């Protein structure tokens, strides 16, 4: 699933491509894609332009010159692909924004888990999961004190499970949670409320560092993820532990292990991230 760095990379790629392009037609090929708004409401966007591009956690948000708002969650395999010249429809294309200069923006999603919400500003509060997001690690307000307060609310939970909770840390997913825990030297099964102040500071710093580095590398691509220009990310070359089970730790040489935490696969170094 695209996480914060991937979604931010998609946002930046579209920000450079779509502003002030006039929409000539919007086609919805798969009605189940729409969580709010219907095909007629999308068709009514013809004649309008994209004006704003922002992101919250793993959600993409777009503004139009008629004050409508489009929220997109890519889920597992969703892609927003810009074509300078309109193309023949591909398998798994579910929506298309055509522009009056002949270009188009296509939503493609192999597994069809992604969702679109078309609403106004007030309706953003009704987008499932959006209004309950916690702070992002790159927010100015995100701090070790914030993290401590959030972790303290989950005294019986395992640390990694809490880090994946979008109401606690927005935008963090399985890839970057593993990498953050490794850099901070903290075991994924530690009690969320049992970290020392020093560990909380390391964890906070690691989140900021890892996400900043991943954005600079334009995200992580294993199979599905590409940006709006159909370009792959490069951070997979810098991963230390994610999906590296059975390989030597790059820091100490011990073999990386894989366990399941709250139903999610978790890779870690048993020497660098000792359980306490």
Is 68 noted as a catalytic residue in this protein? no
Q: Annotation-wise, does 48 bind a ligand?
A: no
Alpha-carbon Rg for the chain, nearest whole angstrom, is: 20
Average pLDDT over residues 225-253: 98
Distance between CA 276 and CA 203 in Å, rounded? 16
Name the pTM for this structure. Answer: 0.97
Quick check: is 155 catalytic? no
Output the pLDDT for position 188: 98
2, 5, 137, 188: the active-site residue: 2
Q: Which pLDDT belongs to residue 22?
A: 97
pLDDT-derived band at 224 (thresholds 50, 70, 90) equals: very high
DSSP H helical ranges for the chain: 4-15, 39-43, 144-152, 159-163, 174-184, 197-216
Going along the chain from its start, the domains and CATH numbers come out as: 4-126 (3.20.190.10), 144-268 (1.10.8.50)
Quickly state the pLDDT bin for 272 (edges 50, 70, 90).
very high
pLDDT of residue 161: 98
CB 8 within 8 A of CB 19: no
- Is 92 annotated as contributing to ligand binding? yes
Looking at residue 20, what is its pLDDT? 87
Mean pLDDT, range 24-30, rounded to an integer: 98
Q: How confident is the model at residue 262 (pLDDT cuts 50, 70, 90)?
A: confident
How many Cα atoms occupy the beta-carbon half-sphere of 42 within 13 Å? Answer: 24
Q: Cβ neighbours of residue 183 under 8 Å, at least 6 residues apart?
A: 202, 206, 209, 210, 240
Per-residue model confidence as pLDDT tens digits over 111-160: 999 999 999 999 999 999 999 999 999 999 999 999 999 999 999 999 99
Mean pLDDT of the chain: 97
> Does residue 79 carry a catalytic annotation?
no
What would the pLDDT profile of 162-187 be if each residue is shown by its tens digit? 999 999 999 999 999 999 999 999 99
Mean pLDDT value across residues 88-111? 97
Give the rounded distance of the alpha carbon of 120 from its chain centre.
23
Averaged over 267-274, what is the pLDDT?
Answer: 98
Instruction: At 126, list the tokens.
Output: 């009704």
Q: Is 2 a catalytic residue?
A: yes
Q: Which of 21, 55, 58, 69 is catalytic?
A: 58
- Residue among 49, 213, 264, 270 flagged as catalytic: 264
Whether the per-residue pLDDT at 231 is higher than 90: the answer is yes
Determine the pLDDT at residue 156: 93
């Amino acid at each position: 699933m695209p996480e914060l760095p991937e979604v931010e990379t998609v946002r930046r790629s579209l920000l450079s491509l779509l502003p002030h392009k006039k929409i000539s037609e919007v086609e919805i090929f798969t009605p189940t894609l729409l969580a709010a708004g219907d095909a007629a409401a999308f068709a009514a966007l013809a004649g309008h332009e994209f004006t704003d591009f922002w992101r919250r956690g793993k959600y993409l948000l777009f503004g139009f010159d008629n004050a409508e708002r489009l929220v997109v969650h890519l889920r597992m395999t969703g892609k927003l692909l810009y074509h300078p010249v309109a193309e023949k429809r591909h398998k798994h294309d579910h929506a298309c924004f055509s522009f009056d200069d002949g270009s188009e923006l296509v939503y493609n999603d192999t597994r069809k888990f992604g969702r679109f919400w078309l609403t106004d500003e007030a309706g953003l509060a009704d987008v499932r999961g959006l209004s309950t997001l916690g702070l992002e690690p790159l927010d100015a307000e995100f701090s070790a004190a914030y993290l401590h307060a959030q972790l303290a609310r989950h005294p019986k939970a395992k640390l990694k499970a809490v880090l994946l909770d979008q109401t606690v840390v927005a935008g963090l997913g399985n890839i970057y949670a593993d990498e953050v825990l490794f850099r901070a030297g903290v075991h994924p099964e530690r009690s969320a409320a049992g970290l020392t102040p020093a560990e909380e500071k390391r964890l906070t710093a690691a989140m900021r560092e890892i996400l900043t580095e991943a954005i600079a590398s334009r995200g992580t691509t294993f199979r599905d993820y590409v940006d709006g220009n159909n370009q792959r990310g490069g951070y997979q070359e810098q991963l230390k532990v994610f999906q590296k089970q059975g390989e030597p730790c790059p820091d100490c040489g011990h073999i990386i292990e894989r366990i399941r935490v709250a139903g999610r696969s978790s890779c870690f170094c048993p020497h660098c991230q000792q359980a306490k």
